[in-house]
Amino acid sequence: MARTVRRSPDPDQQRRARRRLILGIIIGVVVLIVVAGLSFYLRLTGGPALPPAVRQRIHDSRQQTAPAPQGQTPAAPAPAAGQPSSPDLSSTVIPAGTPSFEQQIQQARQAAQCGDTAPRTMYITDAELTAQLGDAVRKHEEVKEVSGYFESGKTYLAVRVDAKGHDLNFTVVLRPTVVDGCVRFDVDQVFVGKVAAPPALAAKVQEEISKRSTWFTPEKTGIYVERIELKSGIAVLHGRPIRR
């Protein structure tokens, strides 16, 4: 039986094979770096990091306010101030006929002047929170847009900022705490796009929030807040009227 003789590999072929292997590895690593960098950039420059329930409310609101195609029934009008800002909120959350938050404040102050200190419940919607935030941030030229949303025990602030000609979306997640009749908000998380911000930036945001964190003070709401509930699209304040 003839013996099979194996030829030793050609050194040139071995070198070429090694070069192809090394080149393939390098190309693969470069591709991974580029894909990871692009993914990070898209996440960094993407929209605000809002929970699905909030994104759905925004979508539904846009659908309601968008003009209906010709021949179709127009969308239902947007809810008035003081009424639920999303269709999934039950009418029992905000009683029918509840006025705007500003009118609720006036009613609480009038009750206090008449000596009526019976417990009261006040309601503020996403839209009303956004209006308050807009008044507070208009002095900052770099802030182009700000929106506020209540959802499941947290408050979400979506802020669009002009960063040297580039738009960046910041999301600040806040948790409320009732202290001496006031509602204080503490920073829970901060995102730039969909990317969690570094601790130093989160600390800076907390510092800025702390300067104006007591948005719902007795002087502003007309009541001494004893408890706050954050539901889907609405904050519910429980307290008693106080005299200014």
Q: What are phi and psi of 167, to 5 degrees?
A: -80, 130
141 domain residue, yes or no: yes
Asked if 185 and 115 sit in the same domain, the reply is yes
The separation between CA 166 and the C-alpha centre of its own chain, rounded to angstroms, equals 20
Asked if 32 and 153 sit in the same domain, the reply is no
80 domain residue, yes or no: no
Q: Which single residue is written with the structure tokens 């269709």?
A: 87
Domain total in the chain:
2
Residue-number span of the structural domain to which 178 is assigned: 101-241
The predicted pLDDT at position 200 comes to 85
Instruction: Please write the tens of the pLDDT for every residue from 49-68.
Output: 888 999 898 888 888 766 65
Residue 51 near residue 151 (C-beta atoms within 8 A): yes
Residue 75 near residue 65 (C-beta atoms within 8 A): yes
86 domain residue, yes or no: no
Instruction: Please write the tens of the pLDDT for every residue from 124-141.
Output: 999 998 888 776 666 677
Asked if 120 and 20 sit in the same domain, the reply is no
75 domain residue, yes or no: no
How far is the C-alpha of 81 from the C-alpha of 39, rounded, in Å?
A: 40
Tokens of 234: 């609405």
Asked if 40 and 127 sit in the same domain, the reply is no
Asked if 237 and 155 sit in the same domain, the reply is yes
pLDDT tens string, the chain, 244 residues long: the values are 555 556 666 777 777 777 777 777 777 777 666 666 655 555 565 678 888 999 898 888 888 766 655 555 444 444 444 444 444 443 347 888 899 999 999 999 999 999 998 999 999 999 998 888 776 666 677 778 889 999 989 999 998 888 777 788 889 999 999 999 999 888 888 998 888 888 888 888 888 777 765 678 888 889 999 999 999 999 999 999 987 6
How far is the C-alpha of 141 from the C-alpha of 161, rounded, in Å?
A: 9
Residue 149 near residue 132 (C-beta atoms within 8 A): no
The predicted pLDDT at position 154 comes to 93
Largest Cα separation within the chain, whole Å, is 118
Tokens of 10: 């050609």
4 domain residue, yes or no: no
70 domain residue, yes or no: no
